[in-house]
Structures are given as C-alpha cells and as structure tokens.
Amino acid sequence: MSEHTVATVGELNDGDRKLVEVEGREIALFRTDGEFRAYTNWCIHQGGPACEGSVTGTSDAEFDREELETELQWCKEGEVLNCPWHGWEYDIPTGECLSKEGAKLPAHPVRVEDEEVVVSL
C-alpha cells in the first residue's frame, strides 16, 4: 500500500471535492461534514466518471396505507453523487450505490496529518 498527499486541509471546504491522479488512477477527494473521503473515479455501472457528477440530494417516499397517500421528501442534500453518464446515485459519506444494492464506489483510506490529507492506495 502506498501513501500519497493529495491536498491540504484548508484547500477544501465542506461540499468541495478535488480530483487528483495517483499512480495513473483518478481519485476524487470529497469533504462532507468535515470528513474527508476518497473514491476511485469509476462508476461500477459502465466505468463512467462518477466522481465528476453533480452533487445533490435525492427523493425519499413514504406511503400511508390508511389515507392512501404518498409523501415525497427531499433528503441527503449535498450527500448524493450522480454519475454524469447514466445518473447512478452514490451516497458520498459511505460510497454506497443507491441505485444498486450491494454496490459501492471503490474507496480508499484517508487520514489527516499535519494539515495534509493523505490517501492510501
């Protein structure tokens, strides 16, 4: 496993991301709620540049069987990454794919050391 400094802490505010190339691989660093996370820029669907897609929220719904009414809610604002090729959704905090159960973005360990963000590959 190799370690790479990819950014300084001050470089990214909450909601920011930075794309870097490490050992020939495109890695995306995200900062959400103060936490850093790194994923390979590769959608498990068809290999699209998932980490370059828009960051949004997503919809959730609840059905009231008694009233026969469906309530739509907008949730996870700022935490959902959408692959620009086909819209597959990923949860940025966990890397989990919301579009296909059990699928995830390839994730890499991240640590902060002396105000530098270090990613392990």
Partner 1 sequence: MSQRAAHALAETTVVDTDVHITVPEETIATYLEEPYRSSITDSPHPMFPSSSWDQRMGGKIDDYFSTFTGPEDVREFQADFEIEYPIINTFEPLGKFSQPDLAMSLMRAYNDLLLDKFLDDYDFLGLAAVATQRPREAAEEIERIGDNDQIVGLYLGTSGEYPPLGDPSNDPIYRAAEDHDLPIVFHGNGEEFMFDFPLHNKGFNNYFEVQSLGHPWQQMATMASVIGEGVPAKFPDLNFVFLEAGIGWVPYMMHRMNKIYRMRRSEVPLLEQSPEEYIRDQFYIGSQPLGEPNRSEDMKRIIETLGADMLMFATDYPHWDFDHLEELDKYLQHYFTETERQQILYETPAEAFGLSI
Q: Which of 8, 54, 86, 94 binds partner 1 (CB under 8 A)?
A: 86
Q: Contact between 45 and partner 1 (CB under 8 A)?
A: yes
Q: Contact between 58 and partner 1 (CB under 8 A)?
A: yes
Q: Contact between 89 and partner 1 (CB under 8 A)?
A: yes
Over its C-alpha atoms, the chain yields an Rg (Å, rounded) of: 16
Give min distance, CB of 60 to partner 1, in A: 5
| Residues paired with 26 in a beta bridge | 21
Give min distance, CB of 45 to partner 1, in A: 7
Give min distance, CB of 62 to partner 1, in A: 8
